[in-house]
Structure 1
Amino acid sequence: MKEFISKKFDKVSPSGIRQVNEKTIQMEREGKKVYHFEIGRPDFETPQVIKDATIESIKRGDVFYTSNYGIMSLREAVAEKLRTENNLDYNAKEILITAGASESIFDTYQLILEPGDEILLPNPCWPNYVNTAHIMRAEPVRYSLDSEKDFQIDFEELEGLVTEKTKAMVIITPSNPIGSMLTKETLEKLADFAKRKDILIIADEIYEKITFGNKEHISIASIDGMKERTITINGFSKTFSMTGFRLAYIAAPENFIKTLNIVHQQNTSCATSFVQYAGITALKEAHEDVEKMVEEYKRRRDYIVEKVNSIEGLSLNVPDGAFYAFIDIRGLGGVHSDEFCKYLLDEYCVATVAGTEFGTKGEGFIRFSYASSYEDIVEGLERLEQACDHFRK
């Protein structure tokens, strides 16, 4: 019998995050109380104004196909948001509405990558960027984000990674899994680098609204000369706690969007009709809800930073945004990240993700999502502290 499954999937790994989650589901079936810090899913209810808009849209009969590009009123609302909030001059023809940011990534890779092309990806980064490159038969090339350099790009290293096969580079700011942000200085250097090397930038800005203190999110496409060589991916899941709605968008030059729409047509046809109408309401009427969520994320972050840095053997750079703490466990005597996470879950029912799920630079770290209640975070970190005793012996 022939081998029917494509060889390209030999390099594609199942999500380690979801594997942890599946294990927690089994533990809960057995009656155990599990503390969930593995999934990047906001624990807040979707704002009521968005839910009401969804229901009203269904009642109104918005239940059929829309334009493949997305409904014009949502594309116009996204363009207006980008102009007023991100200093990005896009019109509706430069916006494509997708069924979640995962589809945006897949479509973008389909647009730009040929077999054998190289794409620069952060190390560590969200695994979908790596696996999707393998699906396209492209080669992911990893650039380092090190805690010792405050997780900024090392341009000396980057210089040595670019070859004639390099097509594009992905940046995720604020970062999943680190919670760090690229500074204005770094982004300006990267803009110069991208123009000099003639590469495309894919900018994942899905966490842009979840920033703390005086940290300001900057869209690299707003830097002179970068709009024409940037594809910006953003969406509604994280900001508005709409993960199940599956709604996102791509902003790019019109010639990119026209071809992206062809990919999108074959992929999902269009984002869900009534969800698109709810997206307009989210952009226009849910700002106060977002501010309350971000305020609570900051309260959780501040507690985590103080608590983790008080535990012998652990350290944590202060996260600038998103809702992830990338906890450094290298002071615990050399325990591997996956071993630590497994022990923590098996013995203390605390679910986290090994840093190695996000790249080799994640060894010695664990990702702790604080998209969970404050009370669970307090209890979870108490249990984590107890678990550390086992590895200090």
Structure 2
Amino acid sequence: MDIKAAKRMDVVPFSGIRKIMEKGVQLEKQGVKVIHLEIGRPDFDTPVNIKQAAKRCLDEGKVFYTSNYGIPELRKAITEKLATENGVSYDPDTEVIVTVGLSEAIFDVLTSLLDAGDEILVPDPVWLNYIHVPRLVGAVPVTYNLLEKNNYQLDIAEIERKITSKTKMIAIITPNNPTGGVLNKDVLEKLAAIAIKHNLIVLSDEIYEKIIYDGNTHYSIASFPGMKQRTVTLNGFSKAYSMTGWRLGYMAAPAAIIDASVRMHQYITTCALSFGQYAAIEALKNSDDSVSGMVAEYQRRRDYVVQAINGIDRLSCQKPGGAFYVFVNIKQLNRTDEEVAEYLLHDAGVTLVPGTAFGDNGAGYLRLSYANSYENLVEACERIKRSIEKLQ
């Protein structure tokens, strides 16, 4: 039988991150020691108190379906967090959904709000879910530039130029994946004014908000005047609390957006992990010390990696203000990012992601995740240095 995928799948390539990861795994099967710097996964265990909360719920039999929206206790905890930390008040009954990771939240809101032909402004480079999910429904992602020379701040004039009568949404990710850039308050204020002027929905991905350094401050654009009613705030537990495998995210937005998104959510997943939702309450309420400890270690690693990379001839990088990625500039090597990533995999046994996995502006860059042990990072940077020195 000749089985063909739906035509819509033609616009959905395999993840560039997973491609390089799988190649590394294959080398490991051959006995090669590979240091994985491609995956955006905290290497810390989930804090003990969070795991204990999940175990208690298992013992208490909290293992059944929950409300499609998520358990009331977690939704209340999320709204308390957003009010206290982000300066935005939400109704836990109508303005919050708990999702199966941030990925599902992105899928839900984009597929439930975008029609064929609608345009969404998306940064370049970006985590490519924001490109491919709109394409699945026939919407058009229109990219705007995040450039190293501008410290990865968006250009307000460019945003204004790219808005058309078809523009419905604009996506921002701060701190950013893959650059580690953090959008400044004045930039967000100007963007808010544009969103209000042109009646745009803003999709604000804040999954890395707690992983921030050097006195930087995270600002939620929904907290700015006139913005709550047009902002979808996306967040979750994977990065800050090292809960990637728990698959828990959430969306906070006006009730009309939640109403549309929860209907998509109902048909995809029904609900998020029941006992995991109770553990997420523990994460929000009693894990600040654990998060602070992890962030301090990320900063130590970041400082080492930035110094090490900038000490390698023909490589350079900026010091990121947040997340746990360094976007390494390899343009002086006069090779494509795919070629350099492949070379470093086989010559150095280190996996880094080609920048073009995140968009056209990623050409000439590699994303390095320092969510790995300090010792592994030291060895990886030494391997990279030796390999680059061999390149003519």
Query: Which residue pairs with 1:44 in the alignment?
Result: 44
- 3-state SS of 1:209 partner: coil
The whole-number CA distance in structure 1 between the counterparts of 2:4 and 2:347 is 41
- Deviation at 1:91? 2.1
**Match of 1:197?**
198
Asked if the contact 1:211/1:322 (under 8 Å) is kept, the reply is: yes
Deviation at residue 64 of structure 1 after TM alignment: 0.4
Structure 1 position 317, deviation (Å): 1.0
Query: Residue 2 of structure 1: CA displacement?
Result: 8.0
Distance in 2 (alpha carbons) for counterparts of 1:2 and 1:317: 50
Shift of 1:31: 1.1
Structure 1 residue 276 displacement after superposition? 0.3
Q: Structure 1 residues 176 and 113 mapped into 2: Cα distance closer, same or farther (>3 Å)?
A: same
Q: CA RMSD in A?
A: 1.1
In the alignment, which residue of structure 1 is the partner of 2:101? Answer: 100
Which aligned pairs between 1:162-177 and structure 2 lie closer than 5 A?
162-177=163-178
Gaps of 5+ in 2: none
Counterpart residue type for residue 285 of structure 2: K
Q: Report SS of the residue matched to 2:204.
A: strand
Match in the other structure for 1:30: 30
- 1:133, 1:388 → 2: CA distance? 38
Q: CA deviation at 1:35?
A: 0.6
Paired residues for 1:331-370 under 5 Å: 331-332=332-333, 334-370=334-370
Q: CA offset at residue 4 of structure 1?
A: 4.7
How is 1:305-384 mapped onto 2 (pairs within 5 angstroms)?
305-332=306-333, 334-384=334-384
Where do 1:2-13 residues align within 5 Å?
4-13=4-13
Q: 1:3 to 1:198 in 2, by over 3 A?
A: farther
Q: Which residue of 2 aligns with 1:154?
A: 155
SS of 2:275 mapped into structure 1 = helix
SS in 2 for 1:298: helix
Runs of at least 4 residues of structure 1 off by over 3 A? 1-4
Q: How does 1:1-393 map to 2 (within 5 A)?
A: 4-93=4-93, 94-332=95-333, 334-391=334-391, 393=392
CA contact (8 A) 1:344 1:387 kept: yes
Q: Distance in 2 between matches of 1:368 and 1:136?
A: 32
TM-score, normalised via structure 1 length:
0.98
Which of 91-100 and 42-51 deviates more?
Answer: 91-100
Identify the range of structure 1 (98-107 vs 156-165) with the bigger mean alpha-carbon deviation. Answer: 156-165
Report if aligned partners of 2:62, 2:274 keep a CA contact under 8 Å in 1.
yes
Amino acid at match of 2:173: I
Letter of the 1:221 partner, please give it. A
**Kept in 2: contact 1:9–1:134 (CA 8 A):** no
How many Å separate the matches in 2 of 1:166 and 1:390? Answer: 48
Conserved 8 A contact 2:313-2:389: no
- Distance (whole Å) between structure 1 residues aligned to residue 388 and residue 190 of structure 2: 40
The one-letter code sitting in structure 2 at the alignment partner of 1:206 is: I
Moved more, 348-357 or 5-14: 5-14
SS in 2 for 1:92: coil
Letter in 1 for 2:62: D
8 Å contact from structure 2 (residues 113, 260) kept in 1: no
For residues 241-290 of structure 1, the C-alpha deviation after alignment (integer angstroms, 9 at most, x for no partner) is 00000101000011211221111111111101100000000101111111
The CA distance in 2 between the partners of 1:294 and 1:97, in whole Å, is 25
8 A contact 2:177–2:323 mirrored in 1: yes
Between 1:292-301 and 1:112-121, the stretch displaced more is 112-121
Q: TM-score, normalising length from structure 2?
A: 0.98
Which shifted more, 309-318 or 206-215?
309-318
Provide the aligned length of Structure 1 versus Structure 2.
391
Question: Unmatched 5+ residue regions in structure 1?
Answer: none
Deviation (angstroms), 1:159: 2.0
Q: Which amino acid aligns with 1:361?
A: N
Q: Match for 1:249: what amino acid?
A: Y
- By how many angstroms is 1:139 displaced? 1.1
